[in-house]
Amino acid sequence: MTRAAVRYGVTALVLVAFTTAVLLLAGAPPWDAYRSLAVGAFGSWGRLARVLTVWVPLTLCACGLLYTFRIGLWNIGVEGQVVMGAIGATWALRHPAPSAPVAVAGALAAGVVLGAAWAYAAGLLKTRGGVNEIFAGLGLNFVAQGFVLWLIFGPWKRPGVASMSGTAPFPPELWLPTASWGRVAPVAVALAVVAVAATAALLARTRVGLHLSAVGRNPRAAALFGLSPARNMLLAMALGGGLAGLAGALQVAGVYHRLIPAISSGYGYLGLLVAMLAGYRLAPVPVIALFFAALNVGSIQLPLVLEVDSSLSGVIQGAVVLAVLVVHGWSARRAPEGTP
Partner 1 sequence: MNGMELTTLLAAVVAGAAPVIFAAVGETVTERAGLINLSLDGSILLGAMAGFAAALYTGSVAAGFAAAAAVGAVVAAVVAVTGVYLGQSQVAVGFVLTLTCRDLAYFLGNPLSRVPGPQVSPLPVPGLADLPGVGEVLFRHNLVVYASIALVPVAWLLLYRTRWGLAVRAVGEHPAAAYARGVDPRRVQLACAVVGGLLVGLAGAAFSLAVKPGWGRPQGAEGMGWIALALVIFGGWHPAKVAVGAYLFSLLQVVGIPLQALLPSVPTQVFQVAPFPLMIFTLWLIHLTRSEAVERWAGDRAWAWRLVHALRASAPRALGKPLSRE
Tell me the site size for partner 1, rule CB under 8 A: 51
Among residues 63, 66, 71, 76, which is the contact residue for partner 1, using CB under 8 A? Answer: 76
Round to whole Å and give the CA distance between 56 and 189: 6
Stretch 154-193: interaction string toward partner 1, x if CB under 8 A: x---------------------------------------
Q: How far apart are the first and last CA of the chain?
A: 14
Beta carbons of 53 and 192 less than 8 angstroms apart: no
How would DSSP label each residue in 21-90?
HHHHHTT--HHHHHHHHHHHHHSSHHHHHHHHHHHHHHHHHHHHHHHHHHTT---TTHHHHHHHHHHHHH
CB nearer partner 1, residue 31 or residue 150: 150
87 binds partner 1 (CB under 8 A): no
Of 327, 338, 332, 333, which is closest to residue 13 (Cα–Cα)? Answer: 327
**Range 116-131 burial, b when 16+ CB lie within 10 A, else e:** bbbbbbbbbbbbeeee
Among residues 46, 190, 318, 335, which is the contact residue for partner 1, using CB under 8 A? Answer: 318
CB nearer partner 1, residue 81 or residue 313: 313
309 binds partner 1 (CB under 8 A): yes
Of 316, 299, 310, which is closest to residue 41 (Cα–Cα)? Answer: 299
Shortest Cβ 260–partner 1 spacing (Å): 15
Shortest Cβ 80–partner 1 spacing (Å): 10
CB nearer partner 1, residue 75 or residue 191: 75
Shortest Cβ 19–partner 1 spacing (Å): 10
Contact stretch for partner 1 (CB under 8 A) within 89-97, 175-183, 210-218, 317-325? 317-325
CB nearer partner 1, residue 138 or residue 227: 138
Q: What angle do the packed helices 229-250 and 267-277 form, to 10 degrees?
A: 120
45 binds partner 1 (CB under 8 A): no
Shortest Cβ 235–partner 1 spacing (Å): 22
Among residues 8, 31, 150, 225, which is the contact residue for partner 1, using CB under 8 A? Answer: 150
Shortest Cβ 291–partner 1 spacing (Å): 16
CB nearer partner 1, residue 65 or residue 202: 65
Shortest Cβ 330–partner 1 spacing (Å): 6
Round to whole Å and give the CA distance between 198 and 192: 10
Round to whole Å and give the CA distance between 100 and 136: 37
CA dihedral 46, 52, 53, 56 (to 10 degrees): -170
Please work out, in degrees rounded to the nearest 5, the angle formed at the alpha carbon of residue 200 by the alpha carbons of 320 and 108.
90
| Binding positions for partner 1, 88-117, rule CB under 8 A | none
Beta carbons of 169 and 257 less than 8 angstroms apart: yes
| Binding positions for partner 1, 228-287, rule CB under 8 A | 266, 269-270, 272-273, 276
Contact positions toward partner 1, by CB under 8 A?
Answer: 22, 25-27, 74, 76, 125, 129-132, 134-136, 138-140, 142-143, 145-147, 149-150, 153-154, 266, 269-270, 272-273, 276, 308-309, 311-315, 317-319, 321-322, 325-326, 328-330, 332-333
